[in-house]
């Protein structure tokens, strides 16, 4: 009886040890690649990270006060790539800023870590910028809703609010961006403007060069169900103006949990969804379409700008090798870098050591449980045997029973469970 009680008390402990606590999924498994570059733009700094230990946070997602500088003017950032797919121009950050009550832009280089390092951090230079040609339509940076760059066409879309006839409306300006003769800056050509349906107010925009889609996040309330939730929709490259003008929502890609805390700064990059939850001081990063876990890290609420880009494949080779990058050699290197084929030694992780400790604890707990059950059963048998042997001072005529008689009595009086 005592052994059964101990078993009931010990089983929850064993199950607790077997079931691991919730932890971050390794970033390489979420992304599906062993080779990558994580580019984080936070206020006045850009961080590039090429390796992340399992169950650790990306450096851009860590809570480190010293990296942040709030003296930067507000801006929007997108990943800029040349229109020609085979061009060896490395990826850059295209920033839209406000200068002298006009919209301006700058092209910022992305530093790749040194050979013996896995991370590079540098401050954004703010003294160089250029203005858009159509200054009569320039909105204020505070009126900008979102920024989208289509690297297949070279079109830059600026979505913003405007007051017309006393009413707030949304519009979109479209520019063609191309490198200048030095390839160190961009020339802009104004193409057209268009009205935007009121549905796209209060949206957050991003684009993914790998899925060839434009994404936006909108927090919606359902009158039918009585709850609010954040949703991520996609629009194909080349169709943005048409969708915005006619109020076409696009394809629903992801819906956050019902009644969950509102997500902010929602972005999609390389098939990953990046978002923040200010009320919980958390940053989340997970797969958009496949179930591959997620990364959750503490969030520093002092950030005024927060953008994340993840590049792989040919874009990674161009960032690493610069203008010396070779498309043919890069394709071989990237195919060999998949999780199934990689032979690159990884840095030691603490997860295997923790599992070894957990397994040792489980084995010790099982052994201890078996010993306790045996001892308790032995104690019960001893009590039972004491009743079969007469006590001389109370029964002078009693005689000791033979072992055969003891076995016969146990067989006829014991239950199957005791045997």
Lowest mean pLDDT among 10-19, 214-223, 401-410: 10-19
**71-82 burial string, b = 16+ CB within 10 Å, else e?**
ebeebbbbbbbb
| pLDDT tens digit sequence for 322-359 | 888 988 888 755 555 544 444 343 344 444 555 567 77
Q: Answer yes or no: is pLDDT of 52 > 60.
A: yes
| pLDDT tens digit sequence for 180-218 | 877 778 999 999 999 999 999 889 999 999 999 999 999
| pLDDT tens digit sequence for 233-273 | 999 999 999 999 999 999 999 988 766 678 889 999 999 99
pLDDT at 34: 87
At residue 289's C-alpha, the angle toward residues 287 and 290, to 5°, is 70
Q: Which tokens sit at 368? A: 């201890």
In the chain the domains, ranked by start, together with CATH numbers, are: 2-12+353-413 (no CATH), 32-347 (2.120.10)
Q: What average pLDDT score do residues 306-321 get?
A: 94
Q: Give the residue carrying structure tokens 């902010």.
A: 264
Q: What average pLDDT score do residues 397-404 get?
A: 56
Contacts 24+ apart (CB under 8 A), 324-329: 324/88, 325/88, 325/90, 327/86, 327/88
Between CA 273 and CA 284 the distance in angstroms is 8
Q: Give the residue carrying structure tokens 């690649």.
A: 33
pLDDT at 383: 53
Lowest mean pLDDT among 18-32, 122-136, 160-174, 374-388: 374-388
**Per-residue confidence at 167, pLDDT binned at 50, 70, 90?**
confident
Q: Which tokens sit at 178? A: 């191309």
Q: What is the DSSP letter of 52?
A: -
- Could you tell me if 240 and 206 are in contact, meaning their C-beta atoms sit under 8 angstroms apart? no
Between helix 350-386 and helix 2-18 the angle, nearest 10°, is 170
Chain-wide mean pLDDT for the chain? 78
| pLDDT tens digit sequence for 1-21 | 544 544 444 444 444 444 433
Cα–Cα distances in Å, from 221 out to 170, 267, 274? 21, 20, 22
């Amino acid at each position: 009886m005592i052994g059964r009680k101990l078993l009931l008390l010990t089983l929850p402990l064993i199950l607790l040890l077997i079931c691991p606590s919730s932890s971050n999924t390794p970033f390489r498994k979420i992304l599906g690649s062993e080779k990558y570059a994580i580019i984080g733009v936070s206020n006045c700094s850009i961080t590039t990270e090429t390796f992340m230990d399992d169950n650790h946070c990306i450096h851009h997602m860590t809570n480190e006060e010293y990296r942040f500088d709030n003296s930067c003017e507000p801006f929007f950032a997108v990943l800029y790539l040349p229109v020609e797919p085979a061009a060896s121009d490395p990826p850059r950050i295209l920033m839209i800023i406000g200068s002298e009550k006009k919209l301006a832009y700058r092209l910022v280089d992305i530093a790749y870590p040194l050979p013996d390092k896995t991370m590079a951090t540098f401050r954004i230079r703010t003294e160089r910028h250029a203005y858009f040609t159509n200054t009569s339509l320039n909105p204020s940076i505070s009126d900008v809703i979102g920024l989208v760059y289509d690297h297949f066409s070279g079109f830059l879309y600026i979505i913003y609010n405007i007051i017309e006839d006393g009413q707030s409306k949304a519009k979109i300006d479209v520019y063609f961006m191309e490198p200048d003769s030095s390839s160190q800056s961009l020339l802009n050509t104004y193409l057209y403007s268009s009205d935007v349906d009121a549905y796209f107010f209060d949206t957050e925009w991003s684009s993914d060069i790998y899925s060839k889609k434009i994404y936006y996040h909108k927090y919606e309330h359902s009158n039918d169900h009585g709850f609010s939730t954040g949703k991520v929709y996609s629009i194909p490259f080349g169709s943005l103006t048409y969708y915005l003008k006619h109020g076409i929502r696009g394809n629903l890609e992801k819906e956050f949990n019902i009644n969950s805390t509102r997500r902010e700064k929602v972005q999609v990059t390389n098939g990953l969804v990046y978002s923040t939850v200010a009320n919980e001081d958390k940053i989340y990063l997970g797969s958009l379409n496949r179930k591959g876990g997620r990364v959750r890290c503490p969030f520093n609420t002092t950030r005024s700008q927060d953008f994340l880009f993840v590049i792989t494949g040919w874009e990674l080779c161009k960032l690493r090798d610069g203008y010396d990058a070779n498309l043919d050699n890069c394709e071989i290197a990237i195919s060999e870098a998949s999780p199934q084929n990689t032979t690159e030694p990884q840095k030691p992780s603490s997860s295997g050591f923790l599992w070894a400790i957990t397994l040792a604890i489980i084995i010790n707990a099982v052994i201890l449980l078996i010993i306790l059950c045996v001892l308790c059963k032995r104690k019960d048998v001893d009590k039972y045997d004491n009743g079969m042997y007469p006590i001389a001072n109370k029964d002078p005529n009693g005689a000791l029973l033979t072992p055969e008689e003891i076995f016969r009595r146990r067989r006829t009086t014991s239950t199957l469970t005791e045997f």
